[in-house]
Structure 1
Amino acid sequence: MSDIKVLPVVGWRELVHLPELGLRGIPAKIDTGARTSSLHGVVLDEFERDGEKYVRFAVDFEKPHVRQICEAVHVDIRGITSSNGETQYRYVIKTPLKIGDVKFRAEISLADRSDMKFPMLIGRSSLRRRFVVDSGYSWLQTPEMKVKKGHKP
């Protein structure tokens, strides 16, 4: 039984970080039903730098009302089927994602999530072989939120 790898546990929501985009403490919903992770982003421009395709996009945060302009290598434009069954074509970027102490490169689609409670969704491709999900808890990789919300650490 020593072959079993103990994985960190995430709750159904966590604060995550996208360090290369300058984004910290993004509230994210953990969603094993979604394949691809998704970030609320409005695409502003597509351009080339050193022979690589980039996308410039804006991430709007409601509280406090802040707009962060980000640039990332754009990997693809992909048809992504949303929870309502509609397929939308979205830009997909690849950038480091940090949840708790675990940092890895993740593919993230840019979508209009302004009607959603969470600006980011973490899909199962990002979770696979890195985390176990306990949907009965929140903020398991975000100790400062557990304290703030009155949970015992």
Structure 2
Amino acid sequence: MMRSKQAVAAERPRQVIGFSDRIDFPDLGWTDVESKIDTGAYTSALHCTDVKLVSKGDRSQLRFTLMGERGRKKKQFVTDQFQYKTIKNSFGQSEKRFVIKTRVLIMGRLIRAEFSLANRGTMRFPVLLGRKLLRNKFVVDVSLQNVSYQMKQQNPAS
């Protein structure tokens, strides 16, 4: 008998994370990125600038710039794997944003997730992790901070 995705996910223990953490994006070469865990947000978001559609022959590609670790270096990316979706912003207003899929490493788990591309330059955290990514994987304890980062520091990869 085949079990549903939800049944399998419900059997896995949920890990406890705090209200913020430092996480890694291996596909983007971005490590120890300060991230806010936001159960009020459905989607996750990445801080980036210069988001533009560019033509490559008969195809469109998405070009965007990520700030480096703690805002030091900038890194430009180009992908043809993206979507254009309606997202509700922090004020509850709908807006169109580009969305990419990438892997995120948190609590020793490599998770493929969708991230909307937004200019979060005025925000404290360059990354927001929403409910869609958190669901059936994590429980948030708002009294904790940097649980994943501390775990990574105690158990560095060989």
| TM-score, normalized by the shorter chain, greater than 0.5 | yes
Mean Cα deviation higher: 40-49 or 118-127: 40-49
Provide the rounded CA distance (Å) in 1 between the counterparts of 2:81 and 2:47: 15
CA deviations 1:42-61 (Å, max 9, x no partner) are 24443577x98642211125
Does the 8 A contact of 1:73 with 1:93 survive in 2? no
> Could you tell me how far apart the structure 2 residues matched to 1:141 and 1:71 are?
29
Distance 1:10 1:71, change over 3 A: farther
1:128 maps to 2:131? no
> Of 104, 108, 116, which residue of structure 1 is paired with 2:115?
108
- Please report how far the alpha carbon of residue 64 of structure 1 lies from its aligned counterpart in structure 2 after TM superposition: 4.8
Backbone CA RMSD of aligned residues: 2.6
Instruction: State the aligned residue count.
Output: 145
1:35 maps onto 2:42 in alignment:
yes
Residue 144 of structure 1, CA deviation:
6.9
The answer (yes or no) to whether the contact 2:13–2:137 under 8 Å persists in 1 is: no
Q: 1:124 offset after TM fit, Å?
A: 0.6
SS of the residue corresponding to residue 143 of structure 1 reads helix
Of 28-37 and 66-75, the range deviating more from structure 2? 66-75
Which residue of structure 2 aligns with residue 150 of structure 1?
none
Residue 96 (1) aligns with residue 100 (2)? no
Percent identity at matched positions?
A: 32
Shift in alpha-carbon separation, 1:43–1:74, aligned structure 2, 3 A: farther
Q: What TM-score do you get using the length of structure 2 for normalisation?
A: 0.79
Q: Is the 8 A contact 2:32 2:69 kept in 1?
A: no
Mapped partners of 2:124, 2:153: distance in 1: 19
Q: Trace 1:1-153 onto structure 2 (pairs within 5 A).
A: 4-47=11-54, 54-61=61-68, 63-143=70-150
Unaligned runs of 5+ in 1: 148-153
Alpha-carbon deviation of 1:5?
Answer: 3.2
Mapped to 2, the partners of 1:87 and 1:139 lie a distance apart of 31
Distance 2:20 2:153 in 1: 11
